[in-house]
Copies of this chain bind each other. A is one copy, B any other.
Amino acid sequence: MDMNFYKKNILFQGMSEQDIENTLNCLNAYKRSYHKHEAIYHAGSSTSFVGLIYKGSVIVERNDFWGNRTILTSFSEGDFFGEAYAMNSKAVIPVDIIASEATTVIFIEIGRLVSQSCNVPHVTQQLILNLLKMSLQKNMFLSNRSFLLASHTMREKILGYLNTVSLQNHSKEFEIPFDRQQLADFLNIERTALSKELSKMQKEGIIEYKKNKFKLLSN
């Protein structure tokens, strides 16, 4: 067991190694690997397990009747997914969750936290508090995404997105976790229109980019 991995994770903050190990046992944690493009959850299923990405990354997407794909977000090492559904196992997952490269996921049956407290109240409370922090954070992220999608023009969306990533990285130069098609889907615009707008913005001296490495220019 890679204790270092767990100790770094938000969910286990404020917990001793012994507590972490007990928790993982009590909550039926197990590890599973997926290859690129393999589905982790299909839309329509339910679960009481939260997914914690040990290695690799996943894409959360919705595919509608007519085959339109919308990427909601991507998650990478150390991120969680599915916690809202794990805590309410009657709820149906409305999205597909897909490994975007070779990915290993740790599943933790967080749904048991409330019903069965693993006989260590103090630890249970810490876990719930940590979950709350995560959830509130994700909340802010989702609100932000709404703002992005709500932008009126393609350029506003693109700059809004690049700006967010720039702020997260505390740098005007950064890599984005999407290829063009994925970025287009994330911003809900058409791929070729995105390419068109990006090169226009480069010509205008607003940004510089090559593949998924971007640089914001101020003048």
Please state if A132 and B87 are interface contacts (CB–CB under 8 Å). Answer: yes
Cβ B188 vs Cβ A136 within 8 A: no
Give Cα A139–Cα B73 distance, bound, in whole angstroms: 14
| Least distance between A149 CB and chain B CB atoms (Å) | 4
Q: Mark A132-143, 1 if CB is under 8 A from B, else 0.
A: 110111111011
Task: Name which residue of chain B comes closest to A140, CB basis.
Answer: B84
Interface size on A, residues (CB 8 A): 36
Check: A88 CB closer than 8 A to any chain B CB.
yes
**Which of chain B's residues have a CB closer than 8 A to the CB of A121?**
125
Interface residue ranges, A against B (CB under 8 Å): 62, 68, 70, 72, 83-84, 87-88, 91, 94-95, 114, 121, 124-125, 128-129, 131-133, 135-140, 142-147, 149-150, 152, 188
